[in-house]
Chains A and B, each alone.
Chain A
Amino acid sequence: MRKLLSLLVMASLFCTAAIAQIRTITGKVTDENSKPIPGVTIQVKGTNTGTTTVENGTYSIKVPAKAAKLVFSAVGFASVEQPITAASEINVSLKVSSLDLTEVVVTAYGIKKQAKELGYATAKIDNSSLNQAKVVNPVTALAGKVSGMQVNLLGNGVNPDIRVTLRGNRSITGNNQALVVVDGVPVPQSALTSLNPNDIDNINVLKGANAAALYGSDGVGGVLMVTTKRGRAGKPVIKVSSTTQIESVSMYPKMQHTYGGGSDGIHDPIENTSWGPAFDGSSKQVGPTLADGSKLMLPYVSRNDIRTFWNTGVTMQNDVSLAGGDATSDFFLSFQDVNIKGVTPKDKNRRTGGRLNANKKWGIFSAGANIGYTVSALDIANATNPNSSTGTVNIYDNLLNTPDNVPLKDLSDWQNNKWAAPDGYFNGYYVNPYWAIDNVRRTRKTNLLNGNVELGLKPLSWLNFTYRLGLYNESYNDHAQYAQVKYTKAYQRPTDNNGYVGEFTNTSRRINSDILVTLDHKFGDFSGKLTLGNTIRDNYNNYSSIEATALVVPGVYNVSNRTGEAVVSQSLNNSRLTAQFADLALGYKDFLFLDLTGRRESTSVLAPDNRTYFYPGASASFVFTDAIPSLKAGKVLSFGKLLVSANRTGLVNLGAYSLETPYNVASGFPYGSLPGYSTSSRVNNPNLKPEFVNSYEGGVQLGFFKNRLNVSATYFNSISKGQIIAISTSNASGYSSTYINAGKMTNKGLEFDVNGTIIEKKNFSWSVGVNGTYIKSKVAELTPGVSEVALGGYANSAYIYAILDNPYPILKTTAYLRDDQGRIVVDGTTGYPKQAPALKNMGQTTPDFMLGLNTTIKYKSLTLSAVFDYRTGYVFYNRLGKGLDFNGHSLHSVEYNRQPFVVPNSVIASGNGYVPNTSVKTQSGQFDYWYGVYSKIDENYVGDATFLKLRELSLTWTVPMGLFGKQNVIKGASVGVSGRNLFMWLPKSNEFTDPEFNFSTGNAIGISDATVYPPTRIIGFNISLTF
């Protein structure tokens, strides 16, 4: 009997023990304001068991008896580890964290790592920071927010170009811009500029080549990893948002308002330049005397009507998005329509698009598709055409060739007003800008499809297969036209135009196919993750153009409607890149990490002997506060990490087919019926090898006061060797340039970031972030006999070069001839300054120091954010100033009342030396001097490019839920105002325009001309609702 009882007891104990092995724990996860947080991941530490919280923040998880801890983690919050006790309910409150180091960061190829593991510097910009100023183009929202990053807005108008570089320029003549990767697929920058910023969840900036070791070639200039939004488990969430922005010109070049139309001080009614007499209010003729004898007589005063040409631009953005999902699937669907009317009258740009991001999991198998499609229509005055310079008219330049006394504001109706029509417009040499914006136009219709499909297989807990196929397809059709205009021959008129129409078609397609295998395992204190991958990328581009340079029937813009031959051309480019790579990430006790990478790449653009190359990389990070917990005891230091990395990357800065030297159809041929071909002016080098960049990086990241204050500093050094550079050869060789591997360029610098929450109270918080970059570049070597490589500019006037032993790049311009003391040498008879025989080195055109300041103030439900951007240590060339000295608007031309004067600080040759010039005045104080002599010396237009800009300022009111009463439809709402480029502080010497503007998107940075419109400021109002 006793045996049975003990058996029973034992059995019951056994049973209880067996049942007690798995039990359910439930609970609720809330934030600091006691609001529930859905989508929080709860994991039993050390196992694969996990779940997520649902809409109301509750969860339920089955835990084994031996389970010790539950880990609660969610993006944007500090993770919490909660010990499992006997209690069956565990409630947890999560705090928002600005630097969450268990946070997962998406690195190359979508490989997820913990932030603490990374041995290289990265920075993250989340959706709210990206959207606080309601930008249309997400790239513009990056300025001033990331250390090491330089974002340049190159121009203005409805479709401006942007250049993004990280840690300086690696390559002398190649592409230096950062690579853009959207959801794991590398795409051209245009894919990012047309992405709806509301669709972006975050952009992770991988700063140096180290970070992009797995992207190899393309990623040597850093990577912008863009992750788009996904749906979340729970009820579908609908967001609707609408923004209206107003844009107006914020800066005009300084101009004189004393003298009007004419030359040499004599009034000329049809003159475009303002070298006439001083304004005196007398009645003077404006424009020609028409055939019927009528003429326009007006008081001769300054009207300053040039400013009235520019409109107030309006941009309207409307977005709607729908997100939802359940435990195994999620979807995100969005639509956006952006309608931009520019500051230049009649300039428009409209972009409409949608995106679908859907993912589903079936056990070990997962699939996802992320597809975006955008249609844009650009309709602008044809001031510049990347396809062809024929048929363009520089609107801004025409506008500036209007003297002050001309009533330009009344001359817009060229169809009905005889004084605005082509035959009656005052200007005998330039066209009416109002006529030009109606008759010289360019349109572009673009279809852009960017998407990827991802398949995943996770058969075992430590083995994962991923296959990703990405497609980027952009096709555009450009149409450009210039109306036929035949002027009367009775008096001076601009040159007749035979009319022009051009049609240009381009298709760009890129296909990316990646396969990844990941093995993940823990061995005691060590953890290891090995990723192996293979990638194939195919680039294809097909372009054709057809132009007619003389129309028969005016107004019919069909290339068949022409006299003479049509100008046609075609080009096709196809290249392919394949690579195999491996990434081994080792961790020791979760505080010491080592990452080794290797990549073997093969490209079709090099010869078979040179086309395959291998390069390795290594990085390590040591979280010393986790290794030595006693460091955290003082409650001051809460986090500390050291990082170091070294990496070698090969890159090929060559387009397809660059190894051959083809013949070109000779210009002007067929000549009658004769064909003609021309030798190429550049001899290509079939033995080109890839360039290699060695980069090193070391840094420290510290967190204080429970990570309320975070400081990080990183030193970087990159050395690029064997650059593929085009060198100018002697024309006597039969060609004028060739490519060689030569040259060495270095970029060294320091980045630092300080972020902190200065005040944190219940209803009020204030946080500030400062990021700074100091960078020093140097062209260390070129090739024997070559001391500089030309990059672009205006020949014999202002040109950008890579110059040996100088920073990159350098601006050289024509300059004054000076004596040993720097005084200007003038001619003893004419009093005119002499020009130095060679171009002068005016300094570097990229900043050596940049500082960004981001600050956010929250008060109850109001949020105020501001972003400041400061750059210094560089110069730029303003061709606009040269134009003003031609057309007589320049302010300095009236400094001496247009009379001859003694050039200050000048000397005259005397014997073997120079004597100060105190008496010889300039022979002329008018056009002959200011245009004929002064404007030929381009150093006069080079200025300090320092600026401080208030890039973004926004004020948002998150409507408190209480105001909506007890209804359940509207779940959130916000209303805000925002401004961009509101203020710009420039040195007094810069009287022309924004120093960020540039005449091209390539490496020739530092030249701004009249193809770029004046800078603008934007103010907007926005409302958004969540359902």
Chain B
Amino acid sequence: MKRISLLPILSLLAFTACKKDFGSMNTDPKNPVAVPSATVFTYGQKLMADVYTSTSVASAPWRVLAQSWTENTYVYEAQYNFAAYNAPDGWWNNFYGTTLANLENAKKQFPTDIADPAKARNAAIIADILEVYGFNILVTTYGNIPYKQAFNRSIPFPAYDDAKTVYTDLLTRLDTCIAGINTGAASLGAADQIYKGDMTKWKKFAATLKLKMAMLLADTDLTTATKKVTEAVTTGVFAANSDNALFVYQSDATTNTNPVWQALVNSGRHDFAPANTIVNVMNSWSDPRLPLYYKKDGSGNYSGAFPGKANSYGSYSDFSDAWQSQVLPADLLDYAETEFLLSEAVARGIAIGGTAESHYNAGITASILFWGGSATAATTYLLQPGVAYTTAAGDYKQKIGYQKWIALANRGWDAWTEIRRLKQPNLDVVNPPTGANGKLPLRFYYPLTTEKVSNSVNWSAAVKTQFGGTDDLVSYKLFWMP
């Protein structure tokens, strides 16, 4: 038994009179109220990677919605049913409550915490770029979101801001960041796990993000889109796979591994399988990425499971070893996607150099090379009539849409967003899930257990302003949809 120290007893014996001043008794000796800002940034950045790349049905059912993967036993999300695991709540809380909260906190602290003002500014810019990335995802998923009043300790129930206004502000913020980057000054270094503080790369990232966000406006506001795209290309977007924004995972502890590995391998569960939608398309074009994405099934073929049905694990292909690796990096923004965006820009008449076909080919090649395929395989693939830009089926939206979808097979949210944007592949027509609860969701509804309940006044106002009533449905269109 621990020895009971007699000192406190004796001192209390002496002090039986009143003792008003407790001194610093109410300060926790074991938990700090101030920490180095870089540590908070590091965590926020890892969260961004984790949250974005996760495949959890409680927050990120995107791969299933985009039908690059599908579910085996519990098919709620495959049938567009989110009530069981509340993905809208999870996605929202993951971004606001943890990821962006930490990034914002670090950003606010940098000026006081980092001695070198140029370094502090660079650090704040990196955090801001990531925040824009995160807010872009939120506003493009939900619509109106709390923005101006967000992350304010004195406002526990922030009001929602108009989505278009938020979007415009995000683009302005990106411009400010790009202008403020000082490639000559010091930066975060090892605390930044994506680019190790390399400001040149962050400039490219910001420009590429701007390109991406501008293209989202192309259907509804081609003028702004053209302007922003041109600016971005001038600044300099991703030019090679070495520019990709990858967050590298580690194998030393379970929490440091890729969330996809945790879900597919570590859990011991078999919740997911490749979707037959994408596998059949890839099969029809003898896509060289087939062996890179999947393993052959029992009969020596590549096959996918049926979205919306109860599938028996083992009857279809499994995911490749590369996808099931503990250290598979999370891919936030990459070169292949950049080339597809440029291809689309040209196709829409925005003059940024090159042709739609050249960018399209570059995009496909970049994707194949990124996953470990060879340049020759890429060239062969591009010669196929169904793949070659001139002979591929449909308009530019369908050509680019399908190839981008294949390239984004392991980047669920972006794959789903591109399908919503380009309307290709048109899943509602080509492969509606069995038992689907309506059409492919165009958005997420606001969190039912948090926002609707705790921020009810602002929630009702947001729903009324956007949709006119009290219903908050996944079928409602967002401002950027034609």
| A residues neighboring B (CB under 8 Å) | 447, 449, 467, 469, 471, 473, 475, 494-496, 507, 509, 511, 513, 515, 534, 536, 538, 549, 564-565, 570-572, 574-576, 578, 580, 602, 604-607, 611-612, 656-657, 659-664, 666-669, 671-672, 674-679, 681, 683, 727-736, 738, 785-788, 795-796, 835, 837-838, 936
Contact = CB atoms under 8 A, between A and B. Distances in A.
B420 to A, nearest CB: 23
Contact of A473 (B4, B18, B33): B4
Nearest to A497: B268
A449 B9 CA distance: 14
B250 A734 contact: no
Contacts of B449: 795-796
Contact of B40 (A507, A605, A661, A679): A679
Contact of B156 (A571, A607, A676, A729): A729
Contact of A534 (B16, B29, B150, B190): B16
B18 A580 contact: yes
5 contacts: A534-B17, A679-B40, A731-B450, A785-B157, A796-B86
Interface string B86-109: 100000110011101110110000
Interface of B: 1-2, 4, 8-9, 12-13, 15-20, 22, 25-36, 39-40, 42-43, 46, 83-84, 86, 92-93, 96-98, 100-102, 104-105, 145-146, 149-153, 155-158, 190-191, 193, 250, 252-256, 267-268, 447-451, 453-458
Contacts of B16: 467, 513, 515, 534, 536
Contact of A578 (B18, B151, B450): B18
A573 to B, nearest CB: 8
Given A576-B22, A835-B83, A678 B102 contact: yes
Contact of A672 (B83, B149, B252): B252
Contacts of B153: 683, 733-735
Contact of A564 (B13, B27, B104, B253): B253
Contact of A576 (B25, B32, B101, B253): B25
Contact of B29 (A572, A735, A736, A786): A572
Given A662-B32, A835-B83, 11 more contacts: A570-B30, A580-B18, A602-B18, A656-B26, A668-B46, A668-B253, A672-B256, A678-B43, A679-B102, A732-B455, A733-B146
A734 B34 CA distance: 17
Nearest to A740: B156
A507 B1 CA distance: 10
A736 B157 CA distance: 10
Contact of A575 (B25, B32, B158, B250): B25
Nearest to A612: B20
A500 to B, nearest CB: 13
Contacts of B1: 447, 449, 475
Contacts, number: 215
A663 B151 contact: no
Given A513-B13, A671-B46, A729-B454, A677 B30 contact: no
Given A511-B9, A730-B458, A738 B156 contact: yes
The winner among A679, A681, A730, A796 for most chain B CB atoms within 10 A is A730
A674 B158 contact: no
A572 B31 CA distance: 9
B156 A668 contact: no
A469 B9 contact: yes
A534 B253 CA distance: 54
A909 to B, nearest CB: 14
A604 B46 CA distance: 38
Given A575-B25, A576-B22, A662-B33, A733 B152 contact: yes
A495 B454 CA distance: 39
B24 to A, nearest CB: 10
Contacts of B250: 671-672
Nearest to A733: B156
A676 B12 contact: no
B20 A730 contact: no
A936 B74 CA distance: 13
A565 B19 CA distance: 45
Contacts of A678: 40, 43, 98, 102
A511 B8 contact: yes
Contact of B150 (A659, A683, A727, A734): A734
B378 to A, nearest CB: 34
B104 A671 contact: no
A568 to B, nearest CB: 12
B150 A732 contact: yes
Contacts of A785: 157, 456-457
B349 to A, nearest CB: 38
B92 to A, nearest CB: 6
B13 to A, nearest CB: 7
A883 B240 CA distance: 53
Given A662-B28, A730-B156, A736 B450 contact: yes
A663 B43 CA distance: 12
Given A657-B31, A676-B42, A509 B4 contact: yes
Nearest to B455: A730
A473 B267 CA distance: 42
B39 A675 contact: yes
A663 B35 contact: yes
A59 B341 CA distance: 108
A683 B252 CA distance: 33
B190 A674 contact: yes
Contact of A536 (B12, B101, B267): B12
- Nearest 9 pairs between A and B by C-beta? A668-B255, A495-B268, A732-B146, A662-B31, A676-B43, A734-B101, A729-B156, A657-B28, A604-B22
A897 to B, nearest CB: 22
Contacts of A611: 22
Contact of B26 (A447, A604, A732): A604
Contacts of A787: 456
Given A574-B25, A663-B31, A678-B43, A565 B253 contact: yes
A586 B255 CA distance: 67
A674 B193 contact: yes
Given A602-B20, A734-B150, A728 B30 contact: no
A728 B155 CA distance: 13
A565 B252 contact: yes
Contacts of A607: 26
A936 B81 CA distance: 13
The winner among B43, B105, B146 for most chain A CB atoms within 10 A is B43
A676 B46 CA distance: 10
Contacts of A570: 30
A398 to B, nearest CB: 16
Contacts of A735: 97, 101, 153
Given A538-B12, A660-B33, A733-B153, A671 B17 contact: no
A659 B32 contact: no
Given A672-B256, A729-B454, A679 B105 contact: yes
Given A565-B253, A602-B20, A733-B153, A572 B4 contact: no
Contacts of A513: 12-13, 16
A762 B39 CA distance: 83
Given A669-B43, A728-B450, A733-B156, A677 B252 contact: no
The winner among A659, A735, A936 for most chain B CB atoms within 10 A is A735
Contact of B18 (A449, A534, A786): A534
Contacts of B256: 668, 671-672
Contacts of B151: 732-734
Contacts of A507: 2
The winner among B25, B105, B268 for most chain A CB atoms within 10 A is B25
Contacts of A677: 32, 35-36, 39-40, 43
Contacts of B252: 564-565, 672
A787 B152 CA distance: 23
A661 B98 CA distance: 15
A571 B30 contact: yes
B132 to A, nearest CB: 16
B100 A734 contact: yes
